[in-house]
Amino acid sequence: MPALLEYVTLEVRRTLRDPGFVLFGTGMPVLMYLLLTNVGGGGGAQGGKEWEVASMVGMAAYGALGAAVGTGTGIAEDKSLGWLRQLRITPMDPRQVVLGRALAGSVTVLPALLAVLTAGGLVNGVRLAPWQWAALVLLLGAGALPFTLLGIGNGYRLSAQSAGVVSVGCLTVMAVIGGLWFPVELFPGWLRALAVYTPANRFADLGWSLTRGTAPGVTTVLVLLGWLLVFGSYAVVSYRTSARTT
């Protein structure tokens, strides 16, 4: 356990010291959120305050999702530098290494998450109860874990260049189909039915439920647990495959 905690602390420090991660990882979601809600009528044309709150949560989820999936690019770069070979001589087994990186990823999603929520409160005037703000940070921070595992799996399996491209592709597809940029109510019926079972949609629903004053539904919890199992298995298998080839 001490080795795992030290590893998590090390990875968090490495990530947060990267100026590119801090600038683009937090700046882009905030910029997109402010553009979507303030340009061309923004939320006023799509539902007023209700849309502003839903959009804030959706873009906060998008920012956290991007930081989580982006973990894979850093891992792929570490692999090319030989860092993963060094990890294999430590007392940690593959599951601990993957868990440690996943826990670190759950911490490094917080800057993007907090930045969007802060913009919502200070710029767009979104008003929520204090417990709702706190619960949003906690739930969305913890709920990003499946996406961190997806990024980890990509990082161990792909080259640094490929991991970056695949991560952007995964992020974009999940955000669009999950309704993080536009309400799923605008989708065709078949796509709206599919969106409910996508990980990004259920991830954002953790926050949407809270802003409506209700707890996340059973479907949301079960879908996220299912994707957690899928992406977690993918990450462990990818790590073991990387160990045999590097």
CA distance 50 to 43: 8
| Tokens (6 digits) for 92 | 């940690």
- With vertex at residue 166, the alpha carbon angle to CA 160 and CA 170, rounded to the nearest 5 degrees, is 145
pLDDT at 44: 45
Q: By the 8 A CB rule, do 119 and 166 touch? A: no
Write out the chain's pLDDT in tens, 246 residues: 677 787 788 778 877 777 777 777 788 889 888 888 877 555 544 456 777 888 899 999 999 999 899 888 888 877 777 766 776 667 777 777 778 888 888 888 999 999 999 999 999 889 999 999 999 999 999 999 999 999 999 988 888 788 889 988 999 999 999 999 888 888 888 999 999 999 999 999 999 999 988 889 999 999 999 999 999 999 888 888 876 665
Which phi and psi (to 5°) does residue 128 adopt?
-135, 160
| Tokens (6 digits) for 70 | 């982006």
**Pure H helices in 71-180:** 71-81, 83-87, 94-108, 110-122, 130-143, 145-157, 160-177
Q: pTM of the predicted model, to two decimals? A: 0.86
pLDDT at 32: 86
Please report, for the chain, the start and end positions of each structural domain, with discontinuous segments joined by +. Answer: 2-245
HEC secondary structure over 35-50? HHHHCCCHHHHCCHHH
